Protein backbone atom coordinates (compact mmCIF):
# COMPACT_ATOMS: atom_id res chain seq x y z
CA UNK A 1 0.00 0.00 0.00
CA UNK A 2 1.48 3.57 -1.00
CA UNK A 3 1.51 7.59 -1.66
CA UNK A 4 2.50 10.57 -4.06
CA UNK A 5 2.92 14.40 -4.28
CA UNK A 6 3.05 16.84 -7.20
CA UNK A 7 1.06 17.22 -10.41
CA UNK A 8 1.32 14.53 -13.06
CA UNK A 9 2.08 16.32 -16.30
CA UNK A 10 1.85 13.43 -18.71
CA UNK A 11 1.41 9.71 -18.98
CA UNK A 12 3.62 8.92 -21.97
CA UNK A 13 3.20 5.20 -22.37
CA UNK A 14 1.31 2.20 -21.06
CA UNK A 15 1.25 -1.14 -22.81
CA UNK A 16 -0.28 -4.37 -21.56
CA UNK A 17 0.80 -7.53 -23.40
CA UNK A 18 -1.67 -10.37 -22.66
CA UNK A 19 -2.18 -12.16 -19.38
CA UNK A 20 0.67 -11.66 -16.90
CA UNK A 21 2.58 -9.72 -19.53
CA UNK A 22 4.72 -6.62 -19.26
CA UNK A 23 3.06 -3.25 -18.72
CA UNK A 24 5.11 -0.18 -19.58
CA UNK A 25 4.25 3.09 -17.82
CA UNK A 26 6.06 6.38 -18.32
CA UNK A 27 5.16 9.24 -15.96
CA UNK A 28 6.53 12.77 -15.98
CA UNK A 29 6.12 15.25 -13.15
CA UNK A 30 6.95 18.85 -12.34
CA UNK A 31 9.29 17.47 -9.68
CA UNK A 32 12.22 16.11 -11.70
CA UNK A 33 14.47 15.36 -8.77
CA UNK A 34 14.54 11.61 -9.40
CA UNK A 35 16.54 10.12 -12.25
CA UNK A 36 14.86 7.88 -14.79
CA UNK A 37 15.10 4.15 -14.22
CA UNK A 38 13.16 0.94 -14.70
CA UNK A 39 11.86 -1.76 -12.44
CA UNK A 40 13.56 -5.07 -13.05
CA UNK A 41 12.54 -7.22 -10.11
CA UNK A 42 9.34 -8.97 -9.19
CA UNK A 43 7.48 -11.98 -10.46
CA UNK A 44 8.58 -11.97 -14.08
CA UNK A 45 10.47 -14.41 -16.23
CA UNK A 46 13.27 -14.18 -18.77
CA UNK A 47 15.54 -16.44 -20.78
CA UNK A 48 12.86 -19.09 -21.34
CA UNK A 49 11.79 -20.53 -24.73
CA UNK A 50 8.43 -19.12 -25.80
CA UNK A 51 6.80 -22.55 -25.87
CA UNK A 52 7.63 -23.02 -22.17
CA UNK A 53 6.88 -19.51 -20.92
CA UNK A 54 3.08 -19.72 -21.02
CA UNK A 55 3.02 -23.01 -19.14
CA UNK A 56 5.53 -21.95 -16.51
CA UNK A 57 3.41 -18.91 -15.71
CA UNK A 58 0.25 -21.03 -15.58
CA UNK A 59 1.89 -23.59 -13.31
CA UNK A 60 3.09 -20.86 -10.99
CA UNK A 61 -0.35 -19.20 -10.92
CA UNK A 62 -2.02 -22.51 -10.07
CA UNK A 63 0.09 -22.93 -6.92
CA UNK A 64 -0.76 -20.74 -3.93
CA UNK A 65 2.47 -21.46 -2.05
CA UNK A 66 4.35 -18.15 -1.83
CA UNK A 67 7.73 -19.85 -2.34
CA UNK A 68 6.71 -20.98 -5.82
CA UNK A 69 7.93 -18.61 -8.55
CA UNK A 70 8.22 -18.82 -12.33
CA UNK A 71 12.00 -18.51 -12.03
CA UNK A 72 12.15 -21.51 -9.68
CA UNK A 73 10.25 -23.67 -12.17
CA UNK A 74 12.39 -22.41 -15.06
CA UNK A 75 15.63 -23.08 -13.18
CA UNK A 76 14.46 -26.59 -12.39
CA UNK A 77 13.55 -27.28 -16.02
CA UNK A 78 16.96 -26.03 -17.09
CA UNK A 79 18.65 -28.44 -14.71
CA UNK A 80 16.40 -31.32 -15.70
CA UNK A 81 16.47 -31.06 -19.50
CA UNK A 82 17.86 -27.70 -20.69
CA UNK A 83 14.33 -27.28 -22.16
CA UNK A 84 14.89 -30.23 -24.50
CA UNK A 85 11.84 -32.14 -25.71
CA UNK A 86 13.08 -34.90 -28.00
CA UNK A 87 13.15 -38.48 -26.75
CA UNK A 88 16.82 -38.73 -27.61
CA UNK A 89 17.79 -35.63 -25.61
CA UNK A 90 15.25 -35.85 -22.78
CA UNK A 91 15.51 -39.47 -21.66
CA UNK A 92 17.87 -40.18 -18.78
CA UNK A 93 19.78 -43.43 -18.11
CA UNK A 94 17.51 -43.89 -15.07
CA UNK A 95 14.40 -43.79 -17.27
CA UNK A 96 13.23 -40.24 -16.51
CA UNK A 97 11.49 -38.75 -19.52
CA UNK A 98 10.37 -35.45 -20.98
CA UNK A 99 11.33 -31.86 -20.29
CA UNK A 100 10.45 -32.17 -16.58
CA UNK A 101 12.19 -35.59 -16.31
CA UNK A 102 9.42 -37.66 -14.78
CA UNK A 103 9.56 -41.37 -14.19
CA UNK A 104 6.32 -42.64 -15.78
CA UNK A 105 5.11 -44.00 -12.41
CA UNK A 106 5.61 -40.61 -10.76
CA UNK A 107 4.09 -38.70 -13.67
CA UNK A 108 0.90 -40.77 -13.38
CA UNK A 109 0.28 -39.19 -9.98
CA UNK A 110 0.22 -35.65 -11.39
CA UNK A 111 -0.78 -36.18 -15.03
CA UNK A 112 -3.58 -34.22 -16.67
CA UNK A 113 -4.35 -33.26 -20.25
CA UNK A 114 -3.54 -29.61 -19.55
CA UNK A 115 -2.97 -28.66 -23.19
CA UNK A 116 -6.28 -30.19 -24.27
CA UNK A 117 -4.92 -32.36 -27.08
CA UNK A 118 -6.69 -35.46 -25.84
CA UNK A 119 -3.68 -37.05 -24.17
CA UNK A 120 -1.87 -36.52 -20.86
CA UNK A 121 1.73 -36.96 -21.95
CA UNK A 122 4.98 -36.24 -20.13
CA UNK A 123 6.41 -35.37 -23.54
CA UNK A 124 3.92 -32.53 -24.10
CA UNK A 125 5.38 -29.27 -22.77
CA UNK A 126 2.11 -28.08 -21.26
CA UNK A 127 1.27 -31.38 -19.60
CA UNK A 128 4.82 -31.85 -18.29
CA UNK A 129 5.26 -28.34 -16.88
CA UNK A 130 1.86 -28.30 -15.22
CA UNK A 131 2.59 -31.69 -13.64
CA UNK A 132 5.98 -30.37 -12.50
CA UNK A 133 4.19 -27.41 -10.91
CA UNK A 134 1.66 -29.62 -9.15
CA UNK A 135 4.38 -31.89 -7.77
CA UNK A 136 6.54 -28.97 -6.62
CA UNK A 137 3.51 -27.27 -5.05
CA UNK A 138 2.74 -30.44 -3.10
CA UNK A 139 6.36 -30.79 -2.03
CA UNK A 140 6.50 -27.15 -0.90
CA UNK A 141 3.48 -27.81 1.31
CA UNK A 142 5.17 -30.88 2.76
CA UNK A 143 8.38 -28.94 3.32
CA UNK A 144 6.59 -26.13 5.16
CA UNK A 145 4.71 -28.51 7.43
CA UNK A 146 7.72 -30.75 8.10
CA UNK A 147 9.52 -28.43 10.47
CA UNK A 148 12.85 -29.43 8.93
CA UNK A 149 15.47 -26.65 8.90
CA UNK A 150 16.57 -24.78 5.80
CA UNK A 151 15.04 -23.25 2.71
CA UNK A 152 11.70 -24.91 1.95
CA UNK A 153 12.50 -24.61 -1.75
CA UNK A 154 15.61 -26.71 -1.18
CA UNK A 155 13.60 -29.33 0.68
CA UNK A 156 11.01 -29.48 -2.10
CA UNK A 157 13.67 -29.77 -4.80
CA UNK A 158 15.36 -32.57 -2.88
CA UNK A 159 12.01 -34.37 -2.70
CA UNK A 160 11.54 -33.96 -6.45
CA UNK A 161 14.96 -35.44 -7.16
CA UNK A 162 15.28 -38.22 -4.57
CA UNK A 163 11.74 -38.68 -3.26
CA UNK A 164 10.22 -37.10 -0.17
CA UNK A 165 11.05 -40.21 1.86
CA UNK A 166 14.75 -39.31 1.53
CA UNK A 167 14.08 -35.84 2.93
CA UNK A 168 12.27 -37.49 5.82
CA UNK A 169 15.15 -39.95 6.26
CA UNK A 170 17.73 -37.18 6.59
CA UNK A 171 15.33 -34.63 8.14
CA UNK A 172 16.48 -32.18 5.48
CA UNK A 173 18.27 -32.10 2.15
CA UNK A 174 20.30 -35.32 1.79
CA UNK A 175 24.02 -34.67 2.40
CA UNK A 176 26.82 -34.90 -0.15
CA UNK A 177 27.53 -38.43 1.05
CA UNK A 178 24.13 -39.58 -0.27
CA UNK A 179 24.09 -40.84 -3.90
CA UNK A 180 27.50 -39.32 -4.61
CA UNK A 181 26.10 -35.87 -3.94
CA UNK A 182 23.57 -36.02 -6.79
CA UNK A 183 20.63 -34.63 -4.82
CA UNK A 184 22.74 -32.14 -2.87
CA UNK A 185 24.26 -30.74 -6.09
CA UNK A 186 20.86 -30.77 -7.84
CA UNK A 187 19.41 -28.50 -5.16
CA UNK A 188 22.37 -26.12 -5.04
CA UNK A 189 22.55 -25.76 -8.83
CA UNK A 190 18.85 -24.97 -9.24
CA UNK A 191 18.88 -22.36 -6.49
CA UNK A 192 21.93 -20.76 -8.12
CA UNK A 193 20.17 -20.68 -11.51
CA UNK A 194 17.08 -18.79 -10.29
CA UNK A 195 18.51 -15.25 -10.85
CA UNK A 196 19.24 -16.19 -14.48
CA UNK A 197 15.52 -16.58 -15.14
CA UNK A 198 14.16 -13.88 -12.82
CA UNK A 199 12.47 -10.74 -14.18
CA UNK A 200 11.64 -8.34 -15.54
CA UNK A 201 8.71 -7.64 -13.29
CA UNK A 202 5.13 -7.91 -14.47
CA UNK A 203 4.92 -4.13 -14.48
CA UNK A 204 7.78 -1.93 -15.69
CA UNK A 205 7.86 1.72 -14.67
CA UNK A 206 10.14 4.34 -16.15
CA UNK A 207 10.22 8.11 -15.80
CA UNK A 208 10.86 10.51 -12.95
CA UNK A 209 8.92 12.42 -10.34
CA UNK A 210 7.05 11.45 -7.21
CA UNK A 211 4.30 9.49 -9.00
CA UNK A 212 6.75 7.30 -10.88
CA UNK A 213 8.92 6.82 -7.81
CA UNK A 214 6.06 5.59 -5.63
CA UNK A 215 4.71 3.26 -8.30
CA UNK A 216 8.22 1.97 -9.03
CA UNK A 217 8.84 1.16 -5.37
CA UNK A 218 5.56 -0.76 -5.19
CA UNK A 219 6.27 -2.67 -8.39
CA UNK A 220 9.70 -3.67 -7.14
CA UNK A 221 7.92 -5.53 -4.32
CA UNK A 222 5.83 -7.73 -6.61
CA UNK A 223 6.12 -11.24 -5.26
CA UNK A 224 6.69 -10.16 -1.64
CA UNK A 225 4.40 -12.16 0.68
CA UNK A 226 1.33 -10.65 2.29
CA UNK A 227 1.61 -10.31 6.08
CA UNK A 228 -1.28 -8.81 8.05
CA UNK A 229 0.13 -5.83 9.96
CA UNK A 230 3.45 -6.12 8.14
CA UNK A 231 5.54 -3.49 6.42
CA UNK A 232 6.01 0.25 6.70
CA UNK A 233 8.24 3.09 5.47
CA UNK A 234 11.41 1.01 5.99
CA UNK A 235 10.17 -1.99 4.02
CA UNK A 236 8.63 -5.41 4.72
CA UNK A 237 8.43 -6.79 8.26
CA UNK A 238 6.75 -9.55 10.22
CA UNK A 239 3.04 -9.09 10.78
CA UNK A 240 0.74 -10.30 13.53
CA UNK A 241 -2.61 -12.03 14.04
CA UNK A 242 -5.46 -10.23 15.76
CA UNK A 243 -7.94 -13.03 16.32
CA UNK A 244 -9.52 -12.56 12.89
CA UNK A 245 -6.81 -11.55 10.42
CA UNK A 246 -3.43 -13.08 9.63
CA UNK A 247 -4.55 -16.72 9.57
CA UNK A 248 -4.34 -19.33 6.82
CA UNK A 249 -6.15 -22.65 7.23
CA UNK A 250 -6.59 -21.87 10.91
CA UNK A 251 -2.90 -21.19 11.51
CA UNK A 252 -1.40 -17.80 12.36
CA UNK A 253 1.06 -17.21 9.53
CA UNK A 254 1.40 -13.43 9.72
CA UNK A 255 3.65 -13.53 12.79
CA UNK A 256 6.21 -15.64 10.94
CA UNK A 257 5.91 -13.96 7.52
CA UNK A 258 8.03 -10.99 6.46
CA UNK A 259 5.96 -8.94 4.07
CA UNK A 260 3.37 -6.20 3.61
CA UNK A 261 -0.30 -5.75 4.15
CA UNK A 262 -2.16 -3.40 1.83
CA UNK A 263 -1.59 -0.16 3.72
CA UNK A 264 1.95 -1.14 4.73
CA UNK A 265 2.85 -1.43 1.05
CA UNK A 266 1.30 1.97 0.28
CA UNK A 267 3.09 3.60 3.19
CA UNK A 268 6.40 2.11 2.02
CA UNK A 269 5.91 3.22 -1.59
CA UNK A 270 5.32 6.88 -0.79
CA UNK A 271 7.99 7.25 1.89
CA UNK A 272 10.05 9.25 2.51
CA UNK A 273 8.58 11.91 0.19
CA UNK A 274 5.19 11.64 1.80
CA UNK A 275 4.55 9.75 5.03
CA UNK A 276 1.03 8.42 5.03
CA UNK A 277 -0.81 7.02 8.07
CA UNK A 278 -0.54 3.28 8.71
CA UNK A 279 -4.05 1.96 7.99
CA UNK A 280 -6.13 2.02 4.81
CA UNK A 281 -8.91 3.95 6.54
CA UNK A 282 -6.49 6.57 7.85
CA UNK A 283 -4.83 6.86 4.44
CA UNK A 284 -8.21 7.64 2.94
CA UNK A 285 -8.81 10.26 5.63
CA UNK A 286 -5.44 11.87 4.94
CA UNK A 287 -6.07 12.17 1.18
CA UNK A 288 -9.89 12.42 0.90
CA UNK A 289 -9.71 16.15 0.22
CA UNK A 290 -8.32 15.25 -3.22
CA UNK A 291 -10.91 12.81 -4.61
CA UNK A 292 -10.56 11.40 -8.13
CA UNK A 293 -13.37 10.02 -10.26
CA UNK A 294 -12.92 6.56 -11.69
CA UNK A 295 -12.91 7.99 -15.20
CA UNK A 296 -9.98 10.30 -14.35
CA UNK A 297 -7.61 7.86 -12.65
CA UNK A 298 -3.88 8.31 -13.18
CA UNK A 299 -0.95 6.06 -12.19
CA UNK A 300 -0.13 6.66 -8.55
CA UNK A 301 -3.69 7.37 -7.39
CA UNK A 302 -4.92 5.48 -4.33
CA UNK A 303 -7.98 3.24 -4.61
CA UNK A 304 -10.13 2.20 -1.65
CA UNK A 305 -12.64 -0.54 -0.90
CA UNK A 306 -15.14 -0.47 1.97
CA UNK A 307 -17.84 -2.58 3.61
CA UNK A 308 -19.89 0.62 3.94
CA UNK A 309 -18.77 4.23 4.38
CA UNK A 310 -15.41 5.81 5.10
CA UNK A 311 -15.30 4.23 8.55
CA UNK A 312 -15.37 0.71 7.09
CA UNK A 313 -12.57 0.98 4.52
CA UNK A 314 -10.66 -2.30 4.53
CA UNK A 315 -8.35 -2.19 1.49
CA UNK A 316 -6.15 0.21 -0.46
CA UNK A 317 -4.22 -0.26 -3.71
CA UNK A 318 -2.21 1.91 -6.11
CA UNK A 319 -3.47 2.56 -9.62
CA UNK A 320 -0.92 1.36 -12.21
CA UNK A 321 -2.66 2.52 -15.35
CA UNK A 322 -4.71 0.81 -18.08
CA UNK A 323 -7.20 -0.57 -15.60
CA UNK A 324 -4.64 -2.30 -13.36
CA UNK A 325 -3.58 -1.88 -9.74
CA UNK A 326 -0.59 -2.91 -7.63
CA UNK A 327 -1.71 -4.35 -4.32
CA UNK A 328 -0.98 -6.61 -1.38
CA UNK A 329 -4.24 -8.58 -1.53
CA UNK A 330 -4.64 -10.98 1.42
CA UNK A 331 -3.05 -13.67 3.57
CA UNK A 332 -1.62 -16.48 1.46
CA UNK A 333 -1.00 -14.24 -1.55
CA UNK A 334 1.84 -11.99 -2.69
CA UNK A 335 2.11 -8.38 -3.84
CA UNK A 336 0.72 -8.44 -7.37
CA UNK A 337 -0.59 -6.61 -10.43
CA UNK A 338 -4.35 -7.15 -10.77
CA UNK A 339 -7.24 -5.70 -12.80
CA UNK A 340 -9.09 -2.96 -10.93
CA UNK A 341 -12.38 -4.68 -11.68
CA UNK A 342 -11.42 -7.86 -9.85
CA UNK A 343 -8.77 -6.72 -7.33
CA UNK A 344 -11.47 -6.75 -4.65
CA UNK A 345 -15.27 -7.23 -4.88
CA UNK A 346 -16.56 -4.64 -7.32
CA UNK A 347 -19.51 -3.82 -5.05
CA UNK A 348 -17.05 -2.71 -2.34
CA UNK A 349 -15.22 -0.11 -4.44
CA UNK A 350 -15.46 3.13 -2.48
CA UNK A 351 -13.43 5.69 -4.39
CA UNK A 352 -10.01 7.09 -5.24
CA UNK A 353 -7.79 9.91 -4.08
CA UNK A 354 -4.68 11.63 -5.39
CA UNK A 355 -1.99 11.92 -2.69
What does the alpha-carbon distance between residue 353 and residue 268 come to, in Å, rounded to a whole number? 17
What does the alpha-carbon distance between residue 207 and residue 14 come to, in Å, rounded to a whole number? 12
Peptide bond into 212 cis (omega under 30): no
Catalytic residue among 66, 208, 262, 267: 262
In sequence order, what are the beta bridge partners of 291?
353
Q: How far lies 342's CA from each of 97, 157, 316, 339, 349, in Å?
A: 40, 34, 13, 6, 10
Examine the residue annotation and report whether 241 is marked as an active-site residue of this protein.
no
Pick from 299, 287, 282: which is nearest to 353 by CA? 287
Inter-residue contact 266 to 2 (CB < 8 Å): yes
Residue 209 CA, distance from chain mean position:
26
What does the alpha-carbon distance between residue 258 and residue 235 come to, in Å, rounded to a whole number? 10
Examine the residue annotation and report whether 165 is marked as an active-site residue of this protein.
no
What does the alpha-carbon distance between residue 278 and residue 3 come to, in Å, rounded to a whole number? 11
Catalytic residues: 262, 315, 327
Amino acid sequence: MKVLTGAIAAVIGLVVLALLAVVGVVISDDDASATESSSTSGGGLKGVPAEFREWILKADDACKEQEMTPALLAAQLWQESKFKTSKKEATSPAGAQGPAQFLPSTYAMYARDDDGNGEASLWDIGDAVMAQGRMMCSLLKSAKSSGYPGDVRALALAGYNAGWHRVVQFKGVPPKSFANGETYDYVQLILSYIPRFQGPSLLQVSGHGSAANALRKAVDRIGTPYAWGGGGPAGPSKGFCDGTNGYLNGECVASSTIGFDCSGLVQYAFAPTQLLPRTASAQYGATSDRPVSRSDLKPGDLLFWSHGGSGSIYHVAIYAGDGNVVQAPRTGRNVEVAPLTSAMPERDYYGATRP
